[in-house]
């Protein structure tokens, strides 16, 4: 009888640290996926996944909100339809409907009816849903009885709400099941995965994933650096689309949610080599563990269906966090515009009246997932001396900058039009500052100075950021400055929260008083 091998729990943080240590010298194109052209077949496949999909977490959350709203509305409708209670009694019925709807969502969640399999099923989970609704109403009914509030009129409303709520839940669940099945067929709701590594391990992984019932994983292809003699061009019916360097570009064209590395754990050097290239992408990175004899503690694993995975990296600011951040951006941007519109108006007039040329300067910069976006600024240079590519950074006493431009640059007023970029969705209020596409220090582009530089683009860039309020703004005239700025940006990404964003926004006006590096 073979012995079970024991090990310490899987430490993803230690692995991430090793990714950045003792890295072999690489070019920017190899390291970060810049300037790597993907082949025609990979581009055709990527075009099929160019539209974003809805993640299961978002969909299940929306269903919870929908059911809460339906049960609340049903209670209020039954009140107005069946009772002649005075207007003051509306508060009692509204409170009962509100509490009942909230408790129902909790009990349905406890009954495990808010995962994709339950939502996809038309009938199998309906008894659980109705059981949870019955338990909810029983608890509320018992509470009303003990409080001696159960009048004849309230009893009529309560029974009608219970019966109507049950019918509403049945019809809603059947409709949701039909919609989710349709979305799954059309690719609207799925998690898109790419297999990294080929050969028999990839084949075994694909077979294990395909055997899962109600599977929401869509395998988009396979990428492997090895040649066809060790990694066939077709594995388990899926094509090999290119190398690891091409995968980085593929994931930027397609909306990919997950990279699954199909390699044995003992191939440590090869896994680390892949991760040094892949960690710049805003995706989940998982290491398949279904075929490894080495077993870790249960909390070390996540699962795709029943297939165990070791979590290497998670996509930052995902699902409902991204929704909350977007709401935060829109609310605070509208508030800022409401307060600062006189400043924008005066700045626009000053730019227009003191030098020839447009008021707004548009510059192409790197955005989320390395996409190119058009960033708005008040023009601060003479039009005939402007530098749209920012190949030459603005320095102290730069003759290209107008007198008004010098003031609005030092005070960062020139950045205020980027509030419209935020409302448009190109930028966030807080995040790594977007650099111009050709930005460089001396004769070296930033990506050549800092390994993993493009990992800054795993989140939307921001109008202000953690690096800026810590003094790393303005001219980047040496390698250390861009390294420190990148380090602060990566710290922000790894430690993001809405409170962190609020702290940065609060500190920004005070930190702008330090104009030492702003020219």
For position 106, what pLDDT does the model report?
A: 95
For position 376, what pLDDT does the model report?
A: 93
Choosing from 281, 315, 349, the residue where a domain stops is: 315
**Beta carbons within 8 Å of 116's beta carbon, 6+ residues apart:** 56, 59, 60, 180, 189, 214, 216
Least confident interval from 1-5, 56-60, 212-216:
1-5
Domain count, the chain: 3
d(CA 231, CA 398): 55
Least confident interval from 236-240, 299-303, 308-312, 433-437:
299-303
pLDDT band of residue 64 (cuts 50, 70, 90) is: very high
Task: Please check whether residue 19 is in contact with residue 272, taking contact to mean a CB–CB distance below 8 angstroms.
Answer: yes
pLDDT band of residue 33 (cuts 50, 70, 90) is: very low
Q: Return the top range by mean pLDDT from 18-22, 181-185, 201-205.
A: 201-205
Residues 344, 216: one domain? Answer: no
Q: Is residue 336 part of a domain?
A: yes
- How confident is the model over 322-374, as pLDDT tens digits? 999 999 999 999 999 999 999 999 999 999 998 888 999 898 888 888 888 99
Q: Is residue 6 part of a domain?
A: no
Closest CA to 167 of 77, 255, 65: 77
Residues 391, 491: one domain? Answer: yes
Least confident interval from 103-112, 253-262, 500-509:
253-262
For position 22, what pLDDT does the model report?
A: 44
For range 151-173, the mean pLDDT: 92
pLDDT band of residue 299 (cuts 50, 70, 90) is: low
Q: Cα 295–214–239 angle (5° rounding)?
A: 75
Residues 49, 60: one domain? Answer: no
> What is the pLDDT of the chain when averaged over all its residues?
82
For position 55, what pLDDT does the model report?
A: 79
Q: Is the pLDDT of residue 163 over 60?
A: yes
Q: Is residue 368 part of a domain?
A: yes
- How confident is the model over 372-388, as pLDDT tens digits? 899 999 998 888 777 77
Q: Please report, for the domain that includes residue 22, its CATH number.
A: 3.40.50.20
Around 106, how many Cα atoms within 13 Å sit in the side-chain half-sphere? 10
pLDDT band of residue 271 (cuts 50, 70, 90) is: confident
Residues 23, 86: one domain? Answer: no
Q: Is residue 96 part of a domain?
A: yes
Residues 143, 21: one domain? Answer: no
Task: Please check whether residue 291 is in contact with residue 263, taking contact to mean a CB–CB distance below 8 angstroms.
Answer: no
Q: What is the DSSP string of 103-128?
A: HHHHHHHHTT--SHHHHH-SSTTHHH
Q: Is the pLDDT of residue 30 over 50?
A: no
Residues 426, 309: one domain? Answer: no
Residues 330, 390: one domain? Answer: yes
Q: Which two tokens stand for residue 45?
A: 């496949």
Q: Is the pLDDT of residue 393 over 50?
A: yes
Task: Please check whether residue 191 is in contact with residue 218, taking contact to mean a CB–CB distance below 8 angstroms.
Answer: yes
Cα distances from 199 to residues 1, 204, 516, in angstroms, run: 30, 9, 56
pLDDT band of residue 210 (cuts 50, 70, 90) is: confident
Q: Is residue 519 part of a domain?
A: no
β-sheet bridge partners, residue 462: 428
Q: Is the pLDDT of residue 408 over 60?
A: yes
- What range defines the domain where residue 231 resides? 12-53+190-315
- How confident is the model over 276-294, as pLDDT tens digits? 888 888 999 988 876 555 4
For position 410, what pLDDT does the model report?
A: 83
For position 36, what pLDDT does the model report?
A: 66
For range 165-183, the mean pLDDT: 91
pLDDT band of residue 391 (cuts 50, 70, 90) is: low
Longest pairwise C-alpha distance within the chain: 87
pTM: 0.79
Residues 433, 471: one domain? Answer: yes
For position 363, what pLDDT does the model report?
A: 87
Of the chain, the percentage scoring pLDDT greater than 70 comes to 84
Residues 169, 36: one domain? Answer: no
Residues 331, 423: one domain? Answer: yes
Choosing from 186, 207, 231, the residue where a domain stops is: 186
pLDDT band of residue 120 (cuts 50, 70, 90) is: confident
For position 10, what pLDDT does the model report?
A: 45
SS3 at position 309: strand
Q: Is the pLDDT of residue 63 over 50?
A: yes
For position 199, what pLDDT does the model report?
A: 81
For position 56, what pLDDT does the model report?
A: 80
Q: Is residue 360 part of a domain?
A: yes
Task: Please check whether residue 75 is in contact with residue 100, taking contact to mean a CB–CB distance below 8 angstroms.
Answer: yes
Q: Is the pLDDT of residue 80 over 60?
A: yes
Task: Please check whether residue 317 is in contact with residue 325, taking contact to mean a CB–CB distance below 8 angstroms.
Answer: yes
Alpha helices in 369-417 (DSSP H): 403-410
Choosing from 289, 315, 341, the residue where a domain stops is: 315
Q: Is residue 372 part of a domain?
A: yes
Task: Please check whether residue 12 is in contact with residue 310, taking contact to mean a CB–CB distance below 8 angstroms.
Answer: yes
For position 5, what pLDDT does the model report?
A: 34
Task: Please check whether residue 31 is in contact with residue 277, taking contact to mean a CB–CB distance below 8 angstroms.
Answer: yes
Least confident interval from 11-15, 182-186, 202-206:
11-15
For range 423-437, the mean pLDDT: 90
For range 6-34, the mean pLDDT: 45
Residues 132, 173: one domain? Answer: yes
β-sheet bridge partners, residue 261: 196, 287
For position 14, what pLDDT does the model report?
A: 55
For range 162-172, the mean pLDDT: 95
Residues 61, 46: one domain? Answer: no
Q: Which single residue is written with the structure tokens 């709520």?
A: 165
Q: Is residue 483 part of a domain?
A: yes
């Amino acid at each position: 009888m073979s012995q079970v091998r024991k090990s310490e729990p899987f430490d993803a943080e230690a692995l991430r640290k090793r990714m950045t240590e003792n890295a072999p010298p690489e070019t920017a194109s190899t390291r970060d996926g810049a300037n790597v052209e993907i082949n025609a077949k990979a581009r055709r496949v990527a075009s099929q996944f160019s539209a974003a999909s809805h993640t299961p977490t978002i969909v299940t959350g929306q269903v919870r909100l929908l059911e809460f709203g339906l049960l609340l509305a049903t209670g209020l409708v039954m009140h107005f339809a069946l009772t002649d209670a005075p207007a003051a009694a509306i508060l009692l019925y509204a409170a009962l409907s509100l509490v009942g709807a909230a408790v129902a969502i909790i009990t349905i969640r406890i009954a495990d009816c808010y995962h994709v399999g339950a939502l996809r099923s038309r009938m199998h989970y309906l008894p659980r849903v109705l059981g949870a609704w019955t338990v909810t109403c029983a608890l509320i009914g018992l509470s009303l009885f003990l409080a001696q509030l159960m009048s004849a009129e309230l009893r009529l409303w309560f029974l009608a709400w219970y019966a109507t709520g049950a019918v509403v839940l049945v019809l809603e669940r059947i409709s949701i099941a039909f919609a989710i099945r349709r979305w799954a067929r059309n690719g609207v709701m799925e998690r898109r995965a790419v297999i990294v590594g080929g050969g028999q391990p990839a084949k075994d992984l694909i077979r294990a994933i395909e055997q899962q019932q109600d599977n929401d994983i869509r395998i988009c292809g396979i990428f492997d650096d090895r040649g066809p003699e060790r990694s066939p061009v077709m594995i388990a019916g899926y094509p090999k689309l290119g190398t690891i360097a091409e995968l980085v570009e593929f994931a930027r064209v397609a909306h990919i949610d997950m990279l699954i590395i199909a390699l044995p754990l003992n191939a440590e050097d090869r896994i680390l080599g892949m991760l040094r290239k892949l960690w710049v992408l805003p995706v989940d990175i998982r290491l398949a563990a279904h075929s490894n004899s080495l077993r870790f503690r249960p909390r070390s694993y996540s699962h795709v269906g029943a297939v165990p995975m070791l979590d290497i990296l998670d996509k930052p600011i995902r699902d409902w966090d991204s929704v909350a951040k977007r709401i935060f951006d829109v609310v605070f941007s509208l508030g800022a515009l409401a307060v600062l519109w006189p400043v924008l108006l005066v700045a626009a007039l000053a730019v227009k009246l003191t030098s020839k040329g447009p008021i707004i300067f548009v510059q192409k910069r790197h955005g989320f997932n390395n996409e190119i976006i058009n960033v708005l600024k008040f023009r601060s240079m003479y039009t005939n001396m402007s530098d749209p590519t920012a190949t030459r950074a603005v320095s102290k006493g730069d003759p290209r900058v107008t007198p008004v431009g010098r003031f609005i640059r030092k005070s960062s007023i020139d950045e205020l039009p980027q509030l419209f970029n935020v409302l448009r969705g190109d930028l966030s209020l807080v995040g790594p500052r977007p650099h111009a596409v050709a930005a460089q220090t001396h004769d070296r582009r930033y990506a050549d100075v800092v390994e993993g530089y493009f990992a800054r683009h795993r989140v939307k860039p921001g109008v202000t950021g953690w690096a800026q309020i810590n003094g790393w703004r303005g001219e980047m005239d040496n390698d250390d400055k861009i390294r420190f700025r990148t380090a602060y940006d990566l710290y922000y990404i790894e430690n993001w929260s809405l409170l962190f964003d609020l702290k940065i926004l609060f500190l920004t006006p005070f930190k702008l008083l330090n104009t030492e590096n702003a020219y």
